[in-house]
């Protein structure tokens, strides 16, 4: 069954796959930028972004609820029921409740954002997301001024998610952001890729994308968003706090205890692959570095 949000796209909100290059080049030429954002303001981003083909994006995944190998999610996530879908928004909000995804999307301004994704495992891709700002949803829910953090939870459905049988992480998968990170205009909730429904293995029907952080902060298949004052519990930090900090900003100068973060393997770069140097904040420093003024990023990993 097609998910209802698709009908919410206006013609100009979706770029057909074939038109991607053109539009991207036009935007790059006009603004010297490589970031797609049709409905919203154009935000600076790393240049030279060539989106990976869908076959890379949808077949090389991390979604441990469906298994820990890169191809497990594509093989096993097809059975996840993604409609109807409810997102509970609670905690320090004026309008807590169980929000139906179709209601969220009815009022959402869907934009296109071509972002680099840098996994903590030192590989990267470029993904053309469709989504809307997390800030717009938090505003709608009446997030209270002064609240410090936002916590997120992935759906937990053992009958549909075979990986939940294994205690790889403390399920459900949980993540969190500081409020200023959550409200930042680069932070989106994605519902599509290449103008199509987001594949289940990529986090259908709604997942977080925070392009300046390691990919694991981008929690998939979100069913709960809680605004709170305590730093949220996060699954990877719980699994190994030395290796996975709460912030997890992409940082080539701070190595993972078991490997270097100075470079990354570009997925889909051909037979011999290719590596590129990892950029501080994944290339989004101009937009986000000020969020961390005065913080020692070698300690606050």
- Residue 99 as a binder of ligand MTE (CB under 6 A): the answer is no
Distances (CA, A) of 202 to 40, 45, 59, 287: 24, 22, 9, 25
- Residue 64 as a binder of ligand MTE (CB under 6 A): the answer is yes
Footprint (CB under 6 A) of ligand MTE, residues 28-47: none
Least distance CB 173 / ligand MTE (angstroms): 3
Footprint (CB under 6 A) of ligand MTE, residues 117-146: 117, 119
x/- mask, ligand MTE, residues 181-220, rule CB under 6 A, reads: ---------------------xx-----------xx-xxx
Which residue number, 65 or 112, has a Cβ lying nearer to ligand MTE? 65
Least distance CB 30 / ligand MTE (angstroms): 29
Determine the Cα–Cα distance for residues 113 and 24; give it in Å rounded to an integer: 11
Least distance CB 248 / ligand MTE (angstroms): 10
Grouping H, G, I as helix, E, B as strand and the rest as coil, residue 118 is: strand
Helix or strand run (H / E) with residue 104:
helix 101-106
Among 99, 152, 173, 246, binds ligand MTE (CB under 6 A): 173
Determine the Cα–Cα distance for residues 60 and 55; give it in Å rounded to an integer: 8
Q: How many CA atoms lie within 13 A of 143 on its CB side?
A: 23
Which residue number, 23 or 70, has a Cβ lying nearer to ligand MTE? 70
Which residue number, 20 or 173, has a Cβ lying nearer to ligand MTE? 173
By the 10 Å C-beta count (0-12 exposed, 13-18 middle, 19+ buried), 191 is classed as buried
Q: Which residues of 120-145 are buried (b: 16+ CB within 10 A; e: fewer)?
A: bbbbbbbbbbbbbbbbbbbebbebee
Among 15, 37, 52, 61, binds ligand MTE (CB under 6 A): 61
Q: Tokens for 6?
A: 């698709």
- Comparing CA positions, the residue from 199, 201, 108, 86 lying closest to residue 153 is 86
Q: Which residue number has the CB closest to ligand MTE?
A: 215
Q: Are strands 86-91 and 222-228 parallel, antiparallel or unpaired?
A: parallel
Least distance CB 267 / ligand MTE (angstroms): 9
Contact range with ligand MTE by CB under 6 A, out of 2-10, 13-21, 63-71, 270-278: 63-71
Contact range with ligand MTE by CB under 6 A, out of 60-68, 139-147, 176-184, 252-260: 60-68
Q: How many CA atoms lie within 13 A of 133 on its CB side?
A: 17
Least distance CB 145 / ligand MTE (angstroms): 29
Determine the Cα–Cα distance for residues 121 and 46; give it in Å rounded to an integer: 21
- Residue 62 as a binder of ligand MTE (CB under 6 A): the answer is yes
Cis ω before 84 (30° cut-off from 0): yes
- Residue 264 as a binder of ligand MTE (CB under 6 A): the answer is no
Query: How many residues sit in the footprint of ligand MTE (CB under 6 A)?
Result: 16
Among 52, 65, 141, 205, binds ligand MTE (CB under 6 A): 65
Name the site residues for ligand MTE (rule: CB under 6 A).
Answer: 61-65, 117, 119, 154, 173, 202-203, 215-216, 218-220
């Amino acid at each position: 069954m097609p998910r209802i949000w698709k009908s919410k796209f206006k013609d100009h909100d979706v770029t057909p796959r074939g038109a991607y290059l053109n539009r991207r080049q036009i935007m790059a030429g006009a603004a010297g930028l490589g970031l797609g954002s049709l409905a919203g303001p154009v935000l600076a981003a790393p240049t030279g972004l060539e989106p990976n083909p869908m076959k890379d994006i949808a077949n090389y995944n991390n979604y441990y609820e469906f298994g820990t190998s890169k191809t497990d999610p594509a093989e096993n996530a097809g059975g996840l029921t993604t409609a109807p879908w409810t997102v509970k928004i609670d905690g320090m909000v004026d309008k807590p409740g169980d929000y139906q995804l179709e209601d969220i999307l009815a009022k959402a301004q869907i934009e296109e954002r071509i972002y680099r994704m840098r996994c903590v495992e030192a590989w990267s891709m470029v993904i053309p997301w469709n989504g809307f700002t997390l800030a717009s949803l938090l505003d709608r829910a009446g997030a209270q001024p002064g609240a410090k953090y936002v916590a997120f939870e992935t759906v937990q459905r053992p009958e549909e998610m075979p990986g939940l049988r294994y205690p790889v992480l403390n399920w459900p998968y949980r993540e969190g952001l500081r409020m200023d990170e959550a409200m930042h205009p680069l932070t989106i909730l994605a519902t599509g890729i290449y103008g199509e429904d987001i594949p289940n293995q990529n986090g259908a029907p709604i997942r977080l994308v925070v392009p300046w952080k390691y990919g694991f902060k981008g929690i998939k298949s979100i069913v709960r968003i809680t605004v709170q004052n305590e730093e949220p519990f996060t699954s990877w930090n719980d699994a190994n706090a030395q290796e996975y900090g709460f912030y997890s900003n992409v940082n080539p100068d701070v190595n993972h205890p078991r490997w270097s973060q100075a470079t990354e393997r570009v997925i889909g770069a051909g037979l011999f692959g290719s590596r590129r140097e990892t950029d501080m904040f994944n290339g989004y420093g101009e937009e986000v570095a000020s969020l961390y003024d005065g913080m020692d990023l070698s300690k606050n990993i």
